[in-house]
């Protein structure tokens, strides 16, 4: 993966420096007034975080810990945390022993627009492909942001997180890793399954969904928010994935293309219990002062998903693409995947 094209003045300044040799000069970034879903702002933060994951082929690995870049990232992060605080009120919690109950209530009251319902019954093939492109920003590194919490936990909560993450990574079989299953879904839809291929096409709100995981994961002080975020994902996953599978089968998706969603229907039904009780409940018992952070992390996950769903469905209802530009068939997949022929075109 190489750095994508800049999306505005913030990324223009950042990317120009990242492809140059390290020289220790300050890297000033003007983020005053940047909104939560601003694509330029979120892409800049995503690029800073990506240096801790797979990074970019055109960026020197030494930039990962370069003090001038870390200072610039801190500016981006402060603005991100401010925007999150404005968008996501901290839920009330009646004591650390009530964390699991509070998580259940938070999820039960989530009334965001249903992308899964639309995909199950109404979406055409192009819209489903767009959905998969949005999700590729996270799913091609699935589980990695939450894994940052493992060395920051102890005892039963740590064991619970490892149990969840082991499933995400295929139980030691690379071909069963959820990121690999998602690549098969992308190939089945004629999409480029290479890591970060669509980074430059997605809107800011899609990037924010991934950035909040990295924000929580890369800061020990936010470890409670990180596991709460994971719990919210697991607790709201099983039914939507059943609908995604239904929609993709309706559009002619083959077994390989649908397997990612089928896997999550089963796995996440188990994971949600482990995440809510053993992981979050156990963590709150050990760290009662951080119990509120657990709920806040869950609330951030739900609110960003709600904002994303509203944006995507709003674009589709207008008959417009939800991406920066419409998709084309990936040339290496168009002629070789039987599923493509079965699904047809819009």
Residues 101 and 208 in one domain: yes
User: Residue 51's domain spans which residues?
Assistant: 9-87
Residues 73 and 102 in one domain: no
DSSP string, 150-211: GGG--HHHHHHHHHHHHHHTGGG-GGGSHHHHHHHHHHHTT---STTTTTTTS-HHHHHHHH
- In this predicted model, what pLDDT tens digit does every residue of 25-34 receive, in sequence order? 999 999 999 9
Would residue 1 count as lying in a domain? no
Which candidate, 100, 10, 82, 84, places its Cα nearest to that of 46?
Answer: 10
Would residue 3 count as lying in a domain? no
Residues 82 and 155 in one domain: no
- What pTM value is reported for the model? 0.93
Residues 306 and 265 in one domain: yes
Domain end, chosen from 87, 120, 144, is at 87
Rounded to an integer, the average pLDDT of 73-87 is 98
Would residue 4 count as lying in a domain? no
**Residue 63 DSSP class:** G
Would residue 316 count as lying in a domain? yes
Which candidate, 188, 191, 192, 194, places its Cα nearest to that of 338?
Answer: 188
Q: What is the CATH number of the domain that holds 100?
A: 1.20.910.10
Q: Which of 131-145, 152-166, 190-204, 318-332 has the lowest mean pLDDT?
A: 318-332
Residues 232 and 308 in one domain: yes
Domain end, chosen from 38, 70, 87, is at 87
The predicted structure's pLDDT at residue 340: 38
179 contacts 140 by C-beta, under 8 angstroms: yes
Domain end, chosen from 87, 121, 156, is at 87
Into how many domains does the chain fold?
Answer: 2
Residues 216 and 311 in one domain: yes
Residues 311 and 206 in one domain: yes
Rounded to an integer, the average pLDDT of 6-32 is 96
Residues 68 and 198 in one domain: no
Residues 205 and 231 in one domain: yes
Residues 146 and 30 in one domain: no
Per-residue pLDDT band for 331 (boundaries 50, 70, 90) equals low
- In this predicted model, what pLDDT tens digit does every residue of 143-200 receive, in sequence order? 999 999 999 999 999 999 999 999 999 999 999 999 999 999 999 999 999 999 999 9
Residue 255, Cβ density class (10 Å: 0-12 exposed, 13-18 middle, ≥19 buried)? exposed
Percent of the chain with pLDDT over 90: 89
Model confidence at 344: pLDDT above 80: no
Would residue 258 count as lying in a domain? yes
Exposed e or buried b for every residue in 139-160, given b needs 16+ CB within 10 A? bbbbbbbbbbbeebbeeebbeb
């Amino acid at each position: 993966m190489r750095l994508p094209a800049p999306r505005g003045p913030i990324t223009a300044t950042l990317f120009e420096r990242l492809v140059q040799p390290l020289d220790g000069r300050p890297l000033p970034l003007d983020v005053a007034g940047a909104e939560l879903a601003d694509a330029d702002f979120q892409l800049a933060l995503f690029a800073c975080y990506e240096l801790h994951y797979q990074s970019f082929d055109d960026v020197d690995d030494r930039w990962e810990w370069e003090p001038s870049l870390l200072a610039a990232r801190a500016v981006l992060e402060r603005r991100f945390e401010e925007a999150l605080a404005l968008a996501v009120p901290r839920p009330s919690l009646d004591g650390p022993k009530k964390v699991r109950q509070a998580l259940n209530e938070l999820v039960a009251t989530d009334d965001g627009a249903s992308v899964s319902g639309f995909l199950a019954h109404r979406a055409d093939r192009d819209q489903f492909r767009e959905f998969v492109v949005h999700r590729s920003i996270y799913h091609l590194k699935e589980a990695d942001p939450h894994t940052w919490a493992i060395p920051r936990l102890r005892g039963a909560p740590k064991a619970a997180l490892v149990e969840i993450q082991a499933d995400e990574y295929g139980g030691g079989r690379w071909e069963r890793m959820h990121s690999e299953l998602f690549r098969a879904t992308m190939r089945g839809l004629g999409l480029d399954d290479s890591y970060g291929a669509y980074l430059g096409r997605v809107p800011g709100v899609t990037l924010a969904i991934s950035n909040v995981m990295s924000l929580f994961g890369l800061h020990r002080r936010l470890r409670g928010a990180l596991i709460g975020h994971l719990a919210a994902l697991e607790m709201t996953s099983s039914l939507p994935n059943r609908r995604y599978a239904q929609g993709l089968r309706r559009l002619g998706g083959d077994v390989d293309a649908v397997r990612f969603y089928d896997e999550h229907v089963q796995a996440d039904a188990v994971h949600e219990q482990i995440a809510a009780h053993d992981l979050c409940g156990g963590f709150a018992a050990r760290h009662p002062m951080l119990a509120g952070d657990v709920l806040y992390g869950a609330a951030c996950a739900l609110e960003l998903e709600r904002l994303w769903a509203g944006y995507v469905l709003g674009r589709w209802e207008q008959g417009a693409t939800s991406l920066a530009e419409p998709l084309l068939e990936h040339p290496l997949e168009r002629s070789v995947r039987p599923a493509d022929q079965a699904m047809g075109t819009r």
